[in-house]
Amino acid sequence: MLSRKESYAATVAAFQWEIPERYNIGQDVCDRWAATDPERVALIEVAEDGYGPVRKTTFAELRAASNRFANVLTGLGLGGDGVSAGDRVAILLPQRRETAIAHVAAFKAGCISLPLFTLFGPEALLHRLRDSGARVLVTDHASLSVIAAIRQDLPDLEVVFVVDGPAEGAQDFDAALAAAPDDFTPVDSLSNAPATLIYTSGTTGNPKGALHAHRVLLGHLPGVEMSHDFLPQPGDCIWTPADWAWIGGLLDVLLPALHHGVPVVACRFRKFSAQAAADLIRRFGVRNAFLPPTALKMMKADPGSADWALNMRSVASGGEPLGAQLLEWGRRALGVTINEFYGQTECNMVVSSCSALADPENGVMGWPVPGHRVDVIDESTAERLPDGSEGAIAILAPDPVMFLGYWNQPAATAAKFMIGPEGRWLVTGDRGLRRPDGRLVFKGRNDDIISTGGYRVGPAEIEDCLIAHPAIAMAGVVGQPDPLRGEIVAAFVTLRAGHSDSPALRDEIAAHVRTRLAAYEYPRAIYVVADLPVTTTGKIIRGDLRKRLTEESPQ
């Protein structure tokens, strides 16, 4: 835990890592509190409209339920041949009680949890489940039909559990728990043992699985505490509209809050509404929130937001610079100065502002979080650059929050690092500069990742999906600047013979991607062009496509 001091420098000086040799996330976030304060509320589950019935779960109930499912995983319900250490347990659920139970149980059993987004289409799910070799899947009726359509292509998937009642081809999650004992001794894991596998978009090929160790939660804690002005404080209660399938929901909110005994409001709106979000915050006394920039912009745009007068204690955001107007609106409407943080799936929560130590400055990300060595280096020599010089943002290894590597991709893992005079640096793919006071300024990405609505999207998977459409010959995908989402997905396509451009065809192309990958990945702008810029080896030159977006007519 961070110890609050009078300045950032003093806070850094007082901090040191305490990473034990043996550590299990499941035991940490659940059993400790169940033993000392069993009736403490861990989860407050709210219907997806934000107004429906409420289901509360105490730490004692979370321990009992996760122990039962850990017993199910290790033998019961799998024909006596339970999971082994390192087996992947996929969790395809929204924010709800069973999502937390499944993750905690997987950790306790020594398995690797695989969070999956409920808005993924069949192709996105097929790649992640097949690539990971998941043996077990926990889902609900809403997603079961998608799984049923691809299950014949998933030879490793042995058992599917459904959390909301019996279903053909799946086991009833509640019935399995009821038949299992609630005593379980968590696996005595090494802190460096694999714990969770989170897929991150890439610029070439399919998304890669970033494998994290149990220590990743401990590595997140300083950044979470700093971005929430020294979480926990008495009365804290946290919520995020970000799905728990993403590192921002799972490891920036759910697991750190449970570690600290802070209640988590579980509610991901079917369709985000600024007024519903404000009502939820007010109704449940939410004092802390991780709100992505797009959510903040939508809340700011609400005509009544100036009169909300919410009395929050901390709001953290990340993904893109917030700007002076959004920060000022936050002070008026939310009652706080929003803290901006920075990281990525491979190495998260390593930079943050902290209004409890100093007011954030417009356009400045913040300081390296205590315990993390984040700097700006030369891309060719991996040497630290002087203050004010733009270069590659990088994190010095080893670091407790840093990933173990990409799943079954040693070459891609090696390419993520550079060796310099001071050691081995993880290179983020982002560019920035360091100010004389040590704060870092984000300048942009040096690759093709698209940041849209808080999601980081790789163009390659979308391009592959687009060219599967019968009308499309070639496709190139880039990010197009957008005032609400930061960027939107823009697709440049050439058509096959016999097809011509029309509004109906563009709608059909967008739907083709939306139903196969994910709702946030479909192209909101489609440009039908005569040809695409390519290298001599046939690769799309996405930089040239981005230049076209600055022209009057991208076609």
Q: Is the pLDDT of residue 134 over 70?
A: yes
Q: Could you tell me which residues come within 8 angstroms of residue 93 by beta carbon, excluding any fewer than 6 positions away?
A: 99, 102, 118, 138, 139, 140, 143, 163
pLDDT single digits (tens) 367-388:
999 999 999 999 999 999 999 9
For residue 165, tell me if it sits in a domain. Answer: yes
pLDDT single digits (tens) 317-343:
987 778 788 899 999 999 999 999 999
Considering Cα of 179, then 185, then 187, then 190, what sign does the dihedral take?
positive
For residue 442, tell me if it sits in a domain. Answer: no
Q: Using pLDDT thresholds of 50, 70 and 90, give the confidence band for residue 79.
A: low
% pLDDT > 70, the chain: 97
- The beta-strand segments (E) located in 59-104 are 88-92
The verdict on 114 and 153 lying in the same domain is yes
The verdict on 458 and 382 lying in the same domain is no
**Which of 396, 429, 462 finishes a domain?**
429
Dist CA 294 CA 447 (whole Å): 22
- Reading the block at residue 445, the tokens are 């990405």
How much is the average pLDDT of 443-454? Answer: 79
Looking at per-residue pLDDT, the higher value among 541 and 140 belongs to 140
Considering Cα of 384, then 386, then 387, then 392, what sign does the dihedral take?
negative
Least confident of 255-259, 276-280, 318-322, 393-397: 318-322
- CATH number, domain of 463, equals 3.30.300.30
The verdict on 459 and 409 lying in the same domain is no
**Which of 379, 396, 429 finishes a domain?**
429
Dist CA 552 CA 46 (whole Å): 47
- Reading the block at residue 29, the tokens are 């976030």
The pLDDT of residue 537 is: 52
pLDDT single digits (tens) 166-216:
999 899 999 999 999 999 999 999 999 999 999 987 656 789 999 999 999
CB contact at 8 A, 439 and 393 = no
For residue 391, tell me if it sits in a domain. Answer: yes
Q: Using pLDDT thresholds of 50, 70 and 90, give the confidence band for residue 63.
A: very high
Residue 420, strand partner residues: 423
pLDDT single digits (tens) 236-268:
999 999 999 999 999 999 999 999 999 999 998
| Residues spanned by the domain of 501 | 450-548
For residue 4, tell me if it sits in a domain. Answer: no
How high does pLDDT run on average in the chain? 93
The pLDDT of residue 538 is: 59
pLDDT single digits (tens) 38-49:
999 999 999 988
For residue 438, tell me if it sits in a domain. Answer: no
Looking at per-residue pLDDT, the higher value among 223 and 202 belongs to 223
**Which of 367, 400, 429 finishes a domain?**
429
The pLDDT of residue 280 is: 95
Looking at per-residue pLDDT, the higher value among 350 and 486 belongs to 350
Dist CA 494 CA 467 (whole Å): 9
Dist CA 466 CA 445 (whole Å): 24
- Reading the block at residue 495, the tokens are 């058509």
The verdict on 400 and 541 lying in the same domain is no
CB contact at 8 A, 187 and 88 = no
The pLDDT of residue 297 is: 86
The pLDDT of residue 60 is: 98
The verdict on 290 and 330 lying in the same domain is yes
Number of domains in the chain: 2
Q: Using pLDDT thresholds of 50, 70 and 90, give the confidence band for residue 98.
A: very high
Q: Can you give the C-alpha Rg of the chain in angstroms? A: 23
The verdict on 387 and 509 lying in the same domain is no
For residue 497, tell me if it sits in a domain. Answer: yes
Dist CA 399 CA 424 (whole Å): 11
* Overall residue count recorded for the chain in this entry: 555
Q: Using pLDDT thresholds of 50, 70 and 90, give the confidence band for residue 463.
A: confident
Q: Is the pLDDT of residue 51 over 90?
A: no
Least confident of 216-220, 275-279, 359-363, 387-391: 359-363
- Which residue, chain included where needed, has tokens 């609505």? 453
CB contact at 8 A, 64 and 35 = no
The pLDDT of residue 321 is: 76
b or e along 382-402 (b: 16 or more beta carbons within 10 Å of the residue's beta carbon)? bebbeeeeebbbbbbeebbbb
The verdict on 171 and 290 lying in the same domain is yes
Dist CA 515 CA 125 (whole Å): 12
Classify residue 425 as exposed, middle or buried by CB count within 10 Å of its CB (0-12, 13-18, 19+): buried
- Reading the block at residue 196, the tokens are 């969770």
Question: Which of 497, 458, 481, 464 is CA-nearest to residue 554?
Answer: 481
For residue 117, tell me if it sits in a domain. Answer: yes
Q: Is the pLDDT of residue 78 over 70?
A: no
Q: Could you tell me which residues come within 8 angstroms of residue 516 by beta carbon, excluding any fewer than 6 positions away?
A: 121, 122, 123, 124, 465, 468
Q: Is 83 helix (H, G, I), strand (E, B) or coil?
A: coil
Least confident of 71-75, 106-110, 325-329: 325-329
pLDDT single digits (tens) 506-544:
999 999 999 999 889 999 999 999 988 876 555 688 888
Quote the longest CA-to-CA distance of the chain: 70
Residue 351, strand partner residues: 342, 368
How much is the average pLDDT of 148-173? Answer: 95
- Reading the block at residue 94, the tokens are 């929204």
Question: Which of 375, 412, 369, 378 is CA-nearest to residue 396?
Answer: 375
Q: Is the pLDDT of residue 116 over 60?
A: yes
The verdict on 304 and 371 lying in the same domain is yes
The verdict on 397 and 501 lying in the same domain is no
For residue 443, tell me if it sits in a domain. Answer: no
C-alpha count within 13 angstroms, C-beta hemisphere, residue 378: 10
